[in-house]
Amino acid sequence: MTNFSYAKYSPIWFIMNRGDNINSFFEIRQWELVDTILLESREKCLEPIDDLPLSNTTLNYIKTFVPGIYLHQKEALKYSIGGYNVCLVTGTASGKSLAFYALGIEKLVAKPSAKIIAIYPLKALGREQEKRWKNALDAAGINAKVGRIDGDVKSMARRKAILKDCQVVIMTPDIIHHWLLLNISDREIVKFLTNVALFVVDEVHTYTGVFGSNAAFLFRRLRHLIAFTNNTPQFICASATMASPEKHLENLFGVPFHIIGSELDTSPRQEVKIVFLRPHLKGDYLTEITYFLKELTSIERRFIAFVDSRKSAELITSILSRGHQGREQGANIEVESDKITGIIKPDRIHTLNILPYRSGYEEEDQIIIQERLYTGSLSGVVSTSALELGLDIADLSAVVLLGVPYSSTSLLQRMGRVGRNCPGTVYIIHSGDVVDEVVFRNPKSILERPLSEGALYLQNPRIQYIHTLCLSREGGEHDQFCQALKISNDETDFISPIKWPEGFMVLCKSERTGELPSDLQAMKSEANDCPNNVFPLRDVESQFKVQFKQGPVLKDMGSLSYSQALREAYPGAVYYYATESLRVYKIFQKNRLIYVRSEKKYTTNPSMPPSQVFPNFTEGNIYNSNKYGDLMVIEANCQVRESVIGFKEKRGSAETKPYKYPLTGDGINVFFDLPRFTRNYFTSGVVFTHPTFNIAKTDELGAVSRLIYEAFLISIPFERQDLDVAFGKFRVKRLPYIQEGNYFIVIYDRTYGSLRLSGHVMAENQMGTVFKQALEIARLSDEVMGPGGVLPVTAEVIALLETLCNDGSLSKMQVDFESSTETMPDENRYERIIMPGGIGLAARNNNSEYIIENIFFYPKQKELCYRGRYLTQSEQDTVNVTWPVKEIREVPGESVIGYYDYETGELLTDK
Residue 76 pLDDT greater than 80, yes or no: yes
The pLDDT tens digits of the residues spanning 464-473 come to 999 999 999 9
The pLDDT tens digits of the residues spanning 297-351 come to 888 778 999 998 899 999 999 989 875 333 333 344 333 334 444 444 556 888 8
Q: How many CB atoms lie within 10 A of CB 297?
A: 18
User: What's the confidence (pLDDT) of residue 162?
Assistant: 97
DSSP symbol at 179: I
- Cα–Cα distance between 642 and 878 in angstroms, integer? 28
Lateral strand order in the sheet of 907-909:
830-834, 897-901, 907-909
The residues with which 541 forms a beta bridge, in sequence order, are none
Region of 860 on the Ramachandran plot (φ > 0 left; ψ -120 to 50 alpha; else beta): alpha
- Cα–Cα distance between 66 and 55 in angstroms, integer? 17
The pLDDT tens digits of the residues spanning 515-542 come to 888 778 889 988 888 999 999 999 888 8
711 confidence band (pLDDT: 50, 70, 90): very high
Provide the sign of the torsion angle of the four alpha carbons 832, 838, 844, 847, taken in this order.
negative
Q: Are 31 and 10 in contact (CB under 8 A)?
A: no
Residue 328 vs residue 182, higher pLDDT:
182
Average model confidence (pLDDT) across the chain: 88
Q: What is the mean pLDDT of residues 644-657?
A: 88
> Helix, strand or coil for residue 200?
strand
Residue 855 pLDDT greater than 70, yes or no: yes
Would 11-39+275-448 and 46-264 be classified into the same CATH topology?
yes
Q: Are 610 and 726 in contact (CB under 8 A)?
A: yes
Q: Are 352 and 325 in contact (CB under 8 A)?
A: no
Q: Are 148 and 130 in contact (CB under 8 A)?
A: yes
User: What's the confidence (pLDDT) of residue 135?
Assistant: 94
Q: 843 Cβ partners below 8 Å, 6+ apart?
A: 518, 519, 522, 887, 888, 889
User: What's the confidence (pLDDT) of residue 300?
Assistant: 73
Q: Which of 84, 75, 502 is nearest to 255 (CA)?
A: 84
User: What's the confidence (pLDDT) of residue 391?
Assistant: 65
Is it true that the peptide bond before 662 is cis, omega within 30 degrees of 0?
yes
Q: What is the mean pLDDT of residues 99-120?
A: 97
User: What's the confidence (pLDDT) of residue 822?
Assistant: 56
Residue 723 pLDDT greater than 70, yes or no: yes
User: What's the confidence (pLDDT) of residue 347?
Assistant: 67
The pLDDT tens digits of the residues spanning 862-900 come to 899 999 999 877 666 777 899 999 899 998 878 889 999
CA 68 to the chain's CA centroid: 40
User: What's the confidence (pLDDT) of residue 334?
Assistant: 39
The pLDDT tens digits of the residues spanning 784-796 come to 877 777 888 999 9
CATH assignment of 11-39+275-448, among 3.40.50.720, 3.40.120.10, 3.40.50.300, 3.10.290.10: 3.40.50.300
The pLDDT tens digits of the residues spanning 829-853 come to 899 999 999 999 998 888 899 999 9
- Cα–Cα distance between 428 and 293 in angstroms, integer? 13
CA atoms within 13 A on the CB side of 427: 27
- Cα–Cα distance between 712 and 633 in angstroms, integer? 15
How far is CA 590 from each of CA 522, 544, 568, 571, 845, rounded to the nearest angstrom? 12, 10, 18, 15, 8
Residue 284 vs residue 303, higher pLDDT:
303
- Cα–Cα distance between 114 and 145 in angstroms, integer? 12
Residue 371 vs residue 278, higher pLDDT:
278
The pLDDT tens digits of the residues spanning 405-428 come to 988 888 998 998 888 778 899 999
User: What's the confidence (pLDDT) of residue 341?
Assistant: 43
Q: Strand 659-660 relative to strand 783-786: parallel, antiparallel, unpaired?
A: unpaired
CA 117 to the chain's CA centroid: 25
Least confident stretch, 398-407, 483-492, 886-895: 483-492
H/E element, 628 = strand 622-628
Map out the domains of the chain as residue ranges. Answer: 11-39+275-448, 46-264, 461-534, 612-645+675-819, 830-909
**Amino acid, res. 485:** L
Q: Strand 424-429 relative to strand 396-402: parallel, antiparallel, unpaired?
A: parallel
Q: How many CB atoms lie within 10 A of CB 6?
A: 16
How far is CA 349 from each of CA 140, 271, 360, 361, 365, rounded to the nearest angstrom? 40, 33, 15, 12, 7
- Cα–Cα distance between 411 and 403 in angstroms, integer? 11
User: What's the confidence (pLDDT) of residue 191?
Assistant: 97
Q: 374 Cβ partners below 8 Å, 6+ apart?
A: 128, 393, 394
User: What's the confidence (pLDDT) of residue 655?
Assistant: 83
Least confident stretch, 83-97, 387-401, 563-577: 387-401
User: What's the confidence (pLDDT) of residue 16?
Assistant: 38
User: What's the confidence (pLDDT) of residue 317?
Assistant: 93
The pLDDT tens digits of the residues spanning 10-29 come to 443 343 343 447 888 999 99
Q: What is the mean pLDDT of residues 214-242?
A: 96
Query: What CATH code would you report for 46-264?
Result: 3.40.50.300
User: What's the confidence (pLDDT) of residue 390?
Assistant: 59
